[in-house]
Structure 1
């Protein structure tokens, strides 16, 4: 079990988040850059922390908080996630599932192979697993970067932790800056007809606030306060699930010294198992998905703050040039996925789905939603609905990639990883072409 979140660390992170939100509300430049408050707070924590001015009284173990919050994030997602039937996936989101699988797996493969290439021929002193830090940060954000960084730490390459978190932070800026350029190009090419500019947003949207008359409830009361507070039960369920995730991961990892099961895996699967049991026993009637989703969102924000604050500037100075080369290659490859692969798989509304995918392939799902709202403010394309359906089967693949790809690349199993990845992409293409398309055709004929 890790050391828990220290009250001092949590108070510092909370203060930074409050300051960041106030700055974003009152500084138009930050609003135009669409910088999330958590990212701004993390940058403040990095600048005022031990990496630069060393003014914040972080505890000696504050860097470990990111790992605990990652487990909390994935456990909360599992508790809030339904498992859709294969038929629903095929009818509603088959093409988006296929594209997401191809895009995510191929990005990991490209990052691994391109990183191997540049380290073999130009920077042989760098670990051959260097490229994985980019895909962990770009596609998975700070959560996946923390998981991969912990794996590299256990393998003896501590620099991988800082590199992954840096790519995750840089990816957010790349996501929104390049994404805005993509939207401008799409408008000129006629791929979209509407474009919600910053100037056309109201004051609340610019500041990242919700108008008082439009604020929804965070959660619903499912239990009488005479017995117990509803939020207390939801918090208890999440905390117990997190503890069980650590215990089960430790137990499963005890059978072999070279087998380490990440806690985010047991957390996500454990959360889904608890949800299934709750559904079968009708206990789900007294659980609120909104509470778990907000728990996941809160974990993400604090994870970003701790993750960015833990970046080591001295490590970045040693890897700066290879990181720039790797990032340029990764951005170029992801643009190819959006502009060449997406139109051939996604069909109608390919651009809306493609720009959303660009957001999460380089930054976070939140960045994808932000870009999607600019081009589709009323969400008529139903991209988020389809993504929610395709998320669960796709997340299982992500778990395997995040857990195994760093180990394979670090231990020299490069070609084995490439072969398995390409084989999986071939299977996805077969399913999409001969199964999902057939189901979609039957569904259209029955209308």
Structure 2
């Protein structure tokens, strides 16, 4: 039976591993050259020292479930800090990036679903029909989406799915940065970029990730007087409330029918958006700082990675080793096709910065994309991140629909419906891109 201190013990261990990971990242040059986040290093330590390794860490019996709780908190906090852009702003500033994001995201889900189904039908008949989804879940959304999809597939009877999705998320981070660096050198040789900041030219801040005192910025603003309530307590209370209500709402909505499974991350995200809209309408948003909410999202992600990697079961991986390796290789090749063949045709001139950034989030996380982008555009002159922030919000709705429905459809024998629907959506977005941007670009090439 779990005691009141078990949860704090788990987070205390994870916090200690994060501190150790940060110390190693700041002092071991090899880790700096690999651009590995401290959370990933901490997660690998959790794996090595945990139940799948030497089993030295005193985790609680339910420590692996902490990742799913943090996933709900992550999406709830994301909703609290997210504004929907107007259609005019979206089309003017980030239309082509939105189109590529949608085409790349949905086509990756559809493609790996087809490949996984093919491997089950022609090579390894014991694989579940949704085997391919563990790759897109880990590659596209990182450990957060890996937890969501893994648990959804577990709920459909595939007990090993969570470990496999967490594994592909971990492998994806390595692929995003290692192959991403190869892409940078390839782009330099082809003349797509004029140069980039090699590791030897980087400042100590960029290498070690430690900001000196004179350059440090505040985390957020004090929006209330501490005589009444602390600012962090105010923001933390809202995050906890949205997370808990989001979880219980998902349980309630899922109770009406056995075929209806509403993910808690979706209800938390929607609730976060609704609370943000209510705060704006009432004027209460003046007392809440988006930077603190964004730090809440980042902190949830860091701890989630530690718990997620630490919960990987090596024995399960050995059972799926060969098909998993095949899926990873095919997934990497498909993503290279997206960034080297599809991206230049959609983005047009100066496409490489956006393509490299896209490689980072297509295989790892947005953080990996930012790390690659900073190497070739350290002063962020291309405004890629600004455009991505605008394009992300409407695109996230598609992500949530896919993550919520596709795993269930694949496991319930409706793979043709799931895969066909995704390819139809890719075709529709491609037609929209051509009508709004592509036709003008082709005309410019013809007469320019």
TM tier relative to shorter chain = over 0.9
Match of 2:75 in 1: 74
**365-374 or 217-226, larger mean C-alpha shift:** 217-226
Structure 2: where are the runs of 5+ without partners?
Answer: 443-448
The 8 Å contact of residues 25 and 208 in structure 1, kept in 2 or not, is answered as yes
State the shift of 1:153 in Å.
Answer: 1.3
Task: Give the 3-state SS of the residue equivalent to 1:348 in structure 2.
Answer: coil
Stretches of structure 1 that go unaligned for 5 or more consecutive residues are: 442-447
Residue 212 of structure 1 deviates from its aligned partner by 2.0
1:357-396 pair list within 5 angstroms: 357-396=358-397
User: Which stretch of the first structure deviates more once superposed, 377-386 or 230-239?
Assistant: 230-239
- Could you tell me the TM-score, scaled by structure 2's length? 0.96
Q: Which residue of 2 aligns with 1:47?
A: 48
- Post-superposition, which runs of at least 4 consecutive aligned residues in structure 1 deviate over 6 A? 2-5, 437-441
Partner of 1:445: none
- CA–CA distance in 2 between the matches of 1:298 and 1:42? 14
Q: CA deviation at 1:436?
A: 5.5
SS in 2 for 1:235: helix
Question: 1:204 deviation in Å?
Answer: 1.9
Q: CA deviation digits over 1:320-374, x for unaligned, max 9?
A: 1111100110000000000111011112321100000000000000000000000
CA contact (8 A) 1:9 1:62 kept: yes
Q: How does 1:428-443 map to 2 (within 5 A)?
A: 428-435=429-436
Report matched runs for 1:330-349 at 5 Å: 330-349=331-350
Does structure 2 conserve the Cα–Cα contact (< 8 Å) formed by 1:162 and 1:310?
Answer: yes
**Cα-to-partner distance string for 1:16-59 (whole Å, 9 max, x where unaligned):** 11111111111111111111110111111111111121111100
Rounded to whole Å, the distance in 1 between the matches of 2:243 and 2:437 is: 36
**d(CA) in 1 for partners of 2:251 and 2:410?**
24
1:143 and 2:144 matched:
yes
The equivalent of 1:309 in structure 2 is 310
Report the equivalent of 2:446: none
Which residue does 1:260 correspond to in 2? 261
Tell whether the 8 Å contact from 1:91 to 1:440 is kept in structure 2 after alignment: no
Superposition deviation, residue 274 in structure 1: 0.6
CA distance in 2, matches of 1:208, 1:65: 27
Q: CA deviation at 1:310?
A: 0.2
**Residue in 1 aligned with 2:179?**
178
Which residue in 2 is equivalent to 1:87? Answer: 88
Q: Deviations over 1:191-211 (max 9, x none)?
A: 000210000011121111123
CA distance in 1, matches of 2:78, 2:430: 28
Counterpart for residue 444 of structure 1: none
Q: Deviation of residue 439 (structure 1)?
A: 11
Instruction: Tell me, yes or no, if the aligned pair for 2:180 and 2:372 is still in contact at 8 Å.
Output: yes
**How do 1:193-204 and structure 2 match up within 5 A?**
193-204=194-205
Give the RMSD, CA atoms, in angstroms.
Answer: 1.7
CA distance in structure 1 between the aligned counterparts of 2:342 and 2:260, rounded to whole angstroms: 36
Comparing 344-353 and 292-301, the one that deviates more: 344-353
- Name the count of aligned residue pairs: 440
Deviation sequence 1:71-122 (CA, Å, 0-9, x none) = 0111111000001111110000000000000000000011100111112111
Aligned partners of 1:88, 1:440: CA distance in 2, in Å?
Answer: 20
TM-score by length of 1: 0.96
Deviation at 1:433, TM superposition (A): 2.1
